[in-house]
Structure 1
Amino acid sequence: MSIKPENINLNKIFIKYLNEKQYSKLQLHYEKLGKTEKQLPAIIFYYACAITLNPSSNIKNLKHAHNLFEMLYVNNRHDLQLLCNMIELSFRTQEFKVVLPYVEEAYKINQSDERLLLGLSKIHLYLANLKESIKYYKILFKINPKSKINRDEFLTSLNYASGITQEYYLSECKNYLKLLETNKDLEDYNFNFKNLKNNKIKIGFLSSDFKTHPVSFFLKGLLLNFNKDKFEISLISNLHKSHYDNITDELKLLTKNWININSLSDSEATNLLRSFELDILIDLCGFFRGNRFQVISNRAAKIQACWLGYNNTTGIKNMDYLIADHNLIKKEEEKLYSEKVLFLPKIWNAMTPSNILPEIQKNNSIFTYASFNNFHKISDDTIDVWSKILNNSNSQIILKNPMPSSIVGEELKLNLLKKFIARGVEKKKILFINRKKDFQDHLGLYNNVDVALDTFPYPGVTTTFDAVLMGVPVLTMKGHNLNSRCGESININLQMQNFIAENKDDYFNKALSLQKEKNILQNFGKNLREKVLKSSLFDTKDFTKSFEKIIQKIISK
């Protein structure tokens, strides 16, 4: 059957709309054509593309585009681009129950298709199915060892998964390093910095999280207490201006120099930072989203270090130092970190407490555990132990992800709940609560909690600071590297070693024994808050002095 001339012309018109980014115009034109089932597949495709690309499309619109792509794909299973479009949209709608079976089915037939492997990796990572995600990433990188796509996300995910050794993690970092060093865009790759001595020590902090984010909460105390006569501080932001908030404004007031590199290429950003002649550039992002690791790999400052935002090694040759404490890395383990480790004397970070704290007053009638950690930190091993605790006691657990609802969809919660139910836990024992925008309201939720259960192998940090500040002790477990020992370091600094479990069995036994404590509020509660406020966790003045000393020490070398 020949295609009518008017359909050929319509094809050309729609392609022209897409090329000129006139998405709304295309949508209006399409909607005047009549019922969808009467349109040619190509015309439906262009319409769904316009909805997908239109910045004004809402969730309802995006779901409609997803349905259109699905309709086309069901009738043409060989067109994997349609399926890839569905995958892309699923992350924007946070709905995967429709697309995931299609991707799994297509992968069985097309096992070397990198797009499908990447889709499976990302979907399972979003749903906190870490073993599956890592499995597909490994297959992807085996098929294409030179692929840089999502390599940083893969490395980040290794910190969340059980059974990953530090040796294996470091080897994967070094694989990524080889790819970064193949960059040929930058002139004078081995840049020689002038040996001029600045009047003040110039420190630059690089991050994409200078907003309402834990990195900002911990950094604030340092910025407030730095000796301004000796140090000149620059904040180098990779945050898009549309994401600035009141915390961004607050941080900008605490520094002499605010530099935004979000719109710059890696080469442009590297050359700009080199021109500032920083004595040291401290990366606060690591492999997390928004990182500028190619800039670090290029060497943008005389000395480069990582701290705070990413608690592990990077494997990057031009990352000179890693800032930690003696509780996080043992002396014999330093060889498993590519950077030279700088040890702070007490704890690796400290926070400025809020001026106003909610009153501590327990509200719960049933013994209640809680974890307000990112749901992706709740590994299968963690679920195994928590399920055993809940199945062997009259207790419940409150779960709250600190991320906004735009990131945490219902399917992530349901997938987590399904894992507990599969282990025999009654649904009523798992209580999901929504994120609180107001910080005081967030802290107030701890009045419903007796004991906070830490996740492993990726423990909480900010959430642990919050919990103990509200008089709630945190049961954590010993780890095997910097990242997995953060909970240990916090409890050691609080002299609460009895809340550090040796292993999973000890964790289970300690959690149950705490239910027998008749005076949780009396033994912890207000007394714990007083202890915490006097501890190194919130002594930002002393922390800053220690931080200044190690910076001065490496600069003087």
Structure 2
Amino acid sequence: MISSINLFLHQAVEAYQRGNYSGAEVMLKRILEVDQKNFGALCILGLINATQFKYRKAVEYFKKAEIINPNDLLNLKNLGAALIDSGENKEGLKRYKKIVQIAPLDSEAWFKLGITYGQLGESLNALQALEESISLQDNNSDAWYFKGVVLKDLGRESEALLAYEKTIELNTVNSLAWNGKGGILYLKNNLKDALACFDKSISINPNNPLVWYNKGSVLSELKKYKNAIESFNKAILLDENFVKARCDKGSALALQKDYQDAVSCFEETMKLQIDHEYLLGNYIHTKLQIADWKNLTRDIENLINKIDTNEKVITPFFALSVFDRPELHKKIAKQWIKNKFPSKNFIAPIANKHEKIRLGYFSADYREHPVAYLTSELFLLHDREKFEVFAFSLSAAESKDPVRTELKRNFDHFLDLENHSATEIAQLARELEIDIAIDLGGHTQDSKTGIFANRAAPIQVNYLGYPGTMGAEYIDYIVADTTIIPDYSRVHYEEKILYMPNSFMIDNSSRVPSTRNFTRAELGLPENAFVYCCFNNGYKFNLQQLEDWVEILKAVDNSVLWLSENNEFFKINILNNFSKFKIKSDRIIFASRLDAIDDHLARCKIADLFLDTHPYNAHATAIDALKAGVPLITYTGNAFAGRVAASLLKACDMSDLITHSRQEYINLAIKMATDKDYFLKIKTKLNENISSGPLFSTKKFVKYLERAYLIIYERYLFGMTPDHIMIDGSKSS
């Protein structure tokens, strides 16, 4: 009988090896009818089912074999693999742990154990197992590759890079390793080398949609949007359900100002997966960019409902122009921080007081950008007996950028860090012993919040670039004023408030209008009309705002509205929207972009009255209007972004131009155009206050800000926790 069983078993093995699985299975089951505990038959039946991807059935046979011979290494390995393939990772882990106990010198077993730990999210255990495997067989390129994967998951980027490079050294055609190396270089912001790695990966295996997607992401960061879109298209061609690639394609289209195509892309993506992260918010923001308000009320209601149920539907910056609800802005920011930039490290208190307080200003906008225009003189005017001033530049600028050149002269140290990761920049800040880190970007494009999640400095401050709370426990203070954040509104901010006297905004006093004399004729403006203007970005416009302007224009016959052209789609849609209310197109005039900011300031003087937007006010554009002597009317809101113009007007002693309802805003705009005496009175007062008021007194503002820095630094040295600080503007510096 035994010899017959062995013969049947031998024949079954031969059939299995020939690929005759059904024949082999028949013979093996006959054996089990005679000998239910035939170890060999059970093992081969397990292999037959595993080969045919019937993993659960394979597990049944391997487990029966395990009962008979619990320490058989080959069966344990097969069982472990089948358990993993059937989704029973924890059970598979038990077998691999047993294997390395029985055979501690089995490199492959340690490797499989490491992979299984990794699948279970136990990265540290995975790393230990993979390192054990490598110590037994250091030429296993797969072990090195997965070590890189695990190290990346642990945030140990530099070590991960070395592991990927070792993989490539052992196997130059490992496309996944080239992709992994590219991913690390991308995180380090070494974009050109990352792109080369993704190209190498694609040359080895052009059919991996993820690598094409990664290449598109790098190209987007390099602002090569056309090429990025081509890469995203390739990823989508390989995987038509690659929703993330579709979303990022839409964002790239928007960034290259192909807004209409971006809207269409987002709409197509929502047909596949409407609840994909941040898709709805991106869609709404892009529609706002082109004044496409169709179904916008419905979409915003849907958005708010999703926010209420804690869905990730909109980024913090995009939310500012959608609704005037600071409690939602905080909720969105906290969620964004939790998911994207959780706290990584809190450094120990500094032991010794520096001779000078070391200020680190972090920005991706040290170039021709509103933040740079406004702050340039701040860095120059800091008291060098008390402060040492560092620029941490997070993004490159054009080689001949005049603002960049000026900024480099205004700092004690200017650090070009565009090719460094957030972790590396935070580490550098700690090595330089920066005392106060000031984030000038917040939740805006190209910023690196991860720097502050890694605690770049013992004191971290949110200032100017982002008008709202960061929602992060590791940002200690936000610079504001009592208009921006009244006492009752503090609850909507994660940070403690550094209250500046007057306004929180600063301006460069040397930034003045050019001597160029513009005429109404060359700007396309009627000679005798009352010129309302608004030079805000397109995303700050909405239907409610337009309806208010319609009422104003209808009440003031001899008036026009002068707007920034923003983009071609915006112009078309704005004109169409006005035409629905019987406002003729010749009453809406568009201003094209001027390269020189001083020329723009000179051009602003032509306008009679600036009409602000709600819920997202004019910020730098409001400064420009007031500096040019153009009165501005604002309808103040509840959130930071909607209270900036009011802050600026109060600092000019022009509170009469602050309104608190739509109708009050409309009535005042009409009065300014129809009551010439009142208009002249306001205009005269503004021009007097520009020179005498605090808004454009940059030196005074710098002293106030320095006083704030000294206070929060002293509090830190004395072990005091952050608290709201009110800077008294009546005290001499």
Answer yes or no: same fold by TM over 0.5: yes
Count of residues paired in the alignment: 506
Alpha-carbon shift at residue 311 of structure 1 (Å)? 2.1
Which of the residues 626, 635, 640 maps onto 1:482? 640
For residues 381 and 517 of structure 2, the distance between their equivalents in structure 1, rounded to whole angstroms, comes to: 29
Pairing of 1:65-464 with structure 2 (within 5 A): 87=250, 90-91=253-254, 94-97=257-260, 100-101=263-264, 103-104=266-267, 107-108=270-271, 110-112=273-275, 120-121=283-284, 123-124=286-287, 126-127=289-290, 145=311, 154-162=315-323, 164-180=324-340, 182=342, 189-242=345-398, 245-351=401-507, 352-354=509-511, 357-358=514-515, 363=520, 364-394=527-557, 395-400=559-564, 408-464=566-622
Distance in 1 (alpha carbons) for counterparts of 2:586 and 2:342: 53
Distance 2:368 2:353 in 1: 35
Cα separation, partners in 2 of 1:105 and 1:258, compared to 1, 3 Å: closer
Q: Does the Cα contact within 8 Å between 2:243 and 2:272 map onto a contact in 1? A: no
Structure 2 distance, partners of 1:522, 1:359, is 24
Structure exhibiting the larger radius of gyration computed from Cα positions: 2
Alpha-carbon distance in 1 for matches of 2:383, 2:242:
62
Residue identity matched to 2:604: Y
Q: Does 1:469 align with 2:632?
A: no
Counterpart-to-counterpart distance in 2, 1:57 and 1:230: 39
Question: What one-letter code is carried by the residue in structure 1 that aligns with 2:337?
Answer: L
Quote the offset at 1:419 in angstroms.
3.0
Q: Matched residues in 1 for 2:367 and 2:288: separation? A: 25
**Aligned-partner residue type, residue 553 of structure 2:** L
Q: Which amino acid aligns with 1:554?
A: I
Gaps of 5+ in 2: 1-195, 521-526, 716-733
The answer to whether the 8 Å contact 2:288/2:541 transfers is: no
Aligned mates of 1:327, 1:313 — CA distance in 2: 15
Letter in 1 for 2:531: T
| Contact residue 502 and residue 695 of structure 2 kept, 8 A | no
Task: State the 1:555 CA deviation.
Answer: 1.0
Q: Give SS of 2:616's match.
A: coil
CA distance in 2 between partners of 1:96 and 1:220 (Å): 32
Shift of residue 83, structure 1, vs aligned partner? 6.1
1:300, distance to aligned residue in structure 2 (A): 1.0
- Per the TM alignment, residue 59 of structure 1 is displaced from its structure 2 partner at its CA by 9.3
**TM-aligned CA distance change 1:229 to 1:502, over 3 Å:** same
> How far did residue 381 of structure 1 move?
2.6
Confirm or deny: 8 A CA contact 2:653 2:689 kept in the other structure. Answer: no
1:34-92 superposed Cα distances (whole Å, 9 cap, x missing partner): xxxxxxxx9xxxx9x999999999999999x69x99xx89xx98897996686366336
User: How far apart, CA to CA, are the structure 2 residues paired with 1:50 and 1:178?
Assistant: 27
> Could you say which structure has the higher helix fraction?
2
In structure 2, relative to structure 1, the CA distance for the partners of 1:270 and 1:411 (3 Å cut) is same
Structure possessing the higher relative contact order (Cα contacts under 8 Å, 6 or more residues apart): 1
**Distance (whole Å) between structure 2 residues aligned to residue 525 and residue 361 of structure 1:** 19
Counterparts of 1:251 and 1:132, CA distance in 2: 45
Q: TM-score, normalised by structure 1?
A: 0.78
* Maintained 8 Å contact 1:170/1:337: yes
Q: How far, CA to CA, are the matches of 2:533 and 2:463 in structure 1?
A: 28
Distance 1:330 1:143 in 2: 28
Alpha-carbon distance in structure 2 between the residues aligned to 1:369 and 1:94: 27
- The answer (yes or no) to whether the contact 1:450–1:520 under 8 Å persists in 2 is no
Unaligned runs of 5+ in 1: 1-17, 26-41, 402-407
Match of 2:687, SS state, is helix
1:372·1:463 contact (CA, 8 Å) conserved in 2?
Answer: yes
Which position in structure 2 is the counterpart of 1:4? none
The answer as to whether partners of 1:52 and 1:89 remain within 8 angstroms in 2 is no
Out of 275-284 and 82-91, give the one that drifted further: 82-91
Cα deviation, residue 237, structure 1: 1.1
Change (3 A) 1:409 1:140: farther
Cα contact 2:254–2:262 (8 A) shared by 1: no
The alignment's TM-score, normalised by the length of structure 2, stands at 0.60
Q: SS in structure 1 opposite 2:643?
A: helix
Deviations 1:395-422 (A, max 9, x none): 2100016xxxxxx431233233333333
Q: Structure 1 residues 313 and 131, CA, compared in 2 at 3 Å: closer, same or farther?
A: farther
1:180-239 CA-partner distances (Å, limit 9, x unpaired):
4657xx5xx232143211000111111111112221222123223221111111111112
The aligned counterpart of 2:39 is: none
Return the alpha-carbon distance in structure 1 between the equivalents of residues 339 and 274 of structure 2. Answer: 24
Cα distance in structure 2, aligned partners of 1:167 and 1:216: 29
Q: Secondary structure, in 3 states, of the residue corresponding to 1:368?
A: strand
Kindly provide the amino acid, as one letter, of the partner of residue 375 in structure 1: G
Relative to 1, partners in 2 of residues 1:170 and 1:547: Cα closer, same or farther, differing over 3 Å? Answer: same
Q: Distance in 1 between matches of 2:245 and 2:364?
A: 33
**Counterpart in 1 of 2:136?**
none
Assess, with a 3 A threshold, how the Cα gap between structure 1 residues 110 and 219 changes in structure 2: closer, same or farther.
closer
Q: Give the match for residue 107 of structure 2.
A: none
Deviation readout 1:320-377 (Å, 9 max, x if unpaired): 1111112222122222211111111222123214356548898431111001111211
- 2:247/2:265 contact within 8 Å kept: no
- Output the CA distance in 1 between the equivalents of 2:248 and 2:277: 14
| Larger mean Cα displacement after TM superposition, 452-461 or 50-59 | 50-59
Question: 3-state DSSP class of the match of 2:583?
Answer: coil
Q: For 2:441 and 2:254, how far apart are their aligned partners in 1? A: 23
Q: Is the 8 Å Cα contact of residues 326 and 343 (structure 1) preserved in structure 2?
A: yes
Question: 1 CA distance for matches of 2:620 and 2:684?
Answer: 19
Mapped contact 2:360–2:437 kept (Cα < 8 A): yes
The 10-residue stretch of structure 1 (190-199 or 368-377) with the greater mean CA deviation from structure 2: 190-199
Check whether the contact 1:177–1:316 (CA below 8 A) recurs between aligned residues.
yes
Q: Which digits, 9 at most, give the CA deviation of each residue in 1:420-469, with x for residues without a partner?
A: 33344322221111011122321232243111111112111222222222
Mapped partners of 1:373, 1:62: distance in 2: 29
Q: Say whether the 8 Å CA contact 1:210–1:247 is kept in structure 2.
A: yes
The residue number in structure 2 matching 1:5 is none
- Residues 310 and 416 of structure 1: CA distance in aligned 2, closer, same or farther (over 3 Å): same
Q: How much is the aligned-residue C-alpha RMSD, in angstroms?
A: 4.2
Distance in 1, matches of 2:504 and 2:219, equals 45
